[in-house]
Amino acid sequence: MNALIEFFRPHLLPLLYALVIVAVLPLIVGYIVLVERKVMADMQARLGPMRVGPHGLLQPIADAVKLLIKEDIIPENADKMLFWAAPLISVTAALLALAAMPIGPKFQIADLNIGLLFILGISSMGIFGIVLGGWASNSHYSLLGALRSAAQLVSYETAAGMALISGLLLAGTLSMHRIVEIQAGAGVWFMFLAPVGFFIYLVASIAETNRAPFDLPEAESELVAGYMTEYSGFRWSLYFLAEYVNMIVVGSIATTIFLGGWLRPFPNVNALNFLDAFPPLLMLVLAGYCFYRTPKQPVKVQKGFLAAVGLLCLALAGVLGVVLAPAAAAFKTPVHGTFWFLLKVFLYLYVFMWLRFTLPRYRFDQLMKLGWHFMLPVAIVNVMAIAVALVLHRPREAGGLDWGLGASLLVSNAGTLIVAAYLAAVGQRRASPVVGGA
């Protein structure tokens, strides 16, 4: 018995984390959708969901209930087995990728020594779900959507991978935990050392998650809903969940590799320690806003709910504030780290939303051309330039930074930018529109 307990003891905490992630993530995804709709509404001069709960705060719950009680339709000519399995593959792959993500310095299910490889490998498995789902539906639109998805994912994953390598070269390790620690040691996020790599990853990750302006697989005005056309109800919501979890995954990867993971801005500058007050203050402001809006709600239930949300924010502010006390110093980094990590991921996703509601959609051939003729070459040049810079100024320890290395990295990034500008100019000249007939 004791042996059994001893065997399980190291696995208890990871198990708890896994439980938290699997249980809480669908809820988070629901609220990300709500935030997205609110952001969209804000950009489009309207209010967005306002009916269900105060300011539409219960909308995600209502949506989830609606999806769960919908009729489960499987098309008659569909391959039933695959039709059933495809969304599960997608959602499992997306959730598994979070296993190696360091959400806080202590909040990580497993710190694998090949962390990044594991995440990339597992999250690419999701494409099987898409292709199989499109094929199993036995419909032209689904099939076209699935093929587009597969082609797009393959082309942009190469560019995204190359962009991540620039971060890996700087860190010298694949372990996600170590990568953040090395950024802490260097005192600077890798985003500032490899800005070109970060930018390429940003664009490629939008394309990888099929978001606008690269949302061709589900281009509503062309292919109805792409590979999801024949899906409805719960199966559809699994695809939906997978899509948003994938967004969280790419956001987390970018946060870990380029944005310093759980570190606060300027982690080593003691003069900026007042930044530690930002998390509790932000929560206080949110709580204040909730209380300010509470009396203005029309219905009693809504008043109560909004006040409860305010109290929750207040409690979080309390937690984030208490750990600042010298007595609780041991808890400060884990608690604040998780806050900063989630904030960065959210800001990353905000950029996704912002672009989605601003830009029109690429055409498929233009998307492919951008991927293969521009993004991938620039990413490769970027890797080579950074490698050369690192060889010329080999840091004494991994992640160690001195002015020489900084300067050579600056030069290498500038060189990459020149190549990128050249490629863009060539692409512009070569871009001859497809002219129908005449």
Partner 1 sequence: MADTRTTSFPNVETTVLGADEIVINMGPQHPSTHGVLRVKLKLDGEKVVNSECVIGYLHRGVEKIAEHRSYQQFAPYVDRMDYVAAVSNGLGYCEAVEKLLGAEAPPRARVIRTILTELQRIASHLLWLGTHALDIGALTPLFYCFREREEILKIFEKYCGARLTTHAFRIGGLQYEAYDELEKDVERFCKDFEHKIAEYEDLLTQNRIWLGRTKGIGVLTAQQAIDLGVTGPVLRASGVKWDIRKAMPYAAYDQYKFEIPTGRNGDTYDRYLVRVEEMRQSRLICLQAIQNIPAGPIMARIGKVLKPPVGEVYHSIEAPKGELGYYIVSDATIQPYRVRIRPPSFVNLQAFDTMVRGHLVADVVAIIGTIDIVLGEVDR
Interface contacts to partner 1, rule CB under 8 A: 40, 43-46, 140, 144, 212-213, 215-216, 219-222, 224, 356-366, 431-438
Which lies closer to partner 1 via its Cβ, residue 220 or residue 402?
A: 220
Nearer to partner 1, 22 or 431 (CB): 431
Q: How far is the CB of 375 from partner 1 (least distance, A)?
A: 15
Question: Across 88-219, where does the E strand assignment appear?
Answer: none
For residue 132, the SS3 value is helix
Rounded to whole angstroms, the Cα distance separating 135 from 131 reads 6
Nearest to 356 by CA among 26, 39, 130, 27: 39
Minimum gap (Å) between residue 214 Cβ and partner 1:
10
Which of residues 331 and 357 has its CB atom nearest to partner 1 in the complex? 357
Cα 287–chain centre separation: 26
Closest to partner 1 by CB, 139 or 175: 139
- For residues 293 and 361, which CB has a smaller minimum distance to partner 1 in the complex? 361
Give CA–CA dist 32/26, Å, rounded: 10
- Smallest gap from Cβ 290 to partner 1, in A, equals 27
Whether omega before 395 lies within 30 degrees of 0, making that bond cis, reads: no
Residue 58 beta carbon to partner 1: minimum distance, rounded to whole angstroms: 24
Q: State in angstroms the smallest separation of the CB of 434 from partner 1.
A: 6
Q: Which of 416, 399, 407 is nearest to 167 (CA)?
A: 399
Block residue for tokens 């100019």:
425
382 half-sphere exposure, CB direction, 13 A CA radius: 30
User: Where is 36: in which H helix or E strand?
Assistant: helix 2-43
Q: Least CB distance from residue 14 to partner 1, whole Å?
A: 41
Question: Residues 145, 150, 155, CA angle at the centre, nearest 5°?
Answer: 125
The answer to whether residues 208 and 156 touch, using CB atoms and an 8 Å cutoff, is: yes
Residue number, 332 or 361, with CB nearest to partner 1: 361
Distance in Å, CB of 11 to partner 1, minimum:
46
Instruction: Pick between residue 40 and residue 275 the one whose CB is nearest to partner 1.
Output: 40
Structure tokens, 357: 């509601």
As given in the structure block, the two tokens for residue 374 are: 């521009």
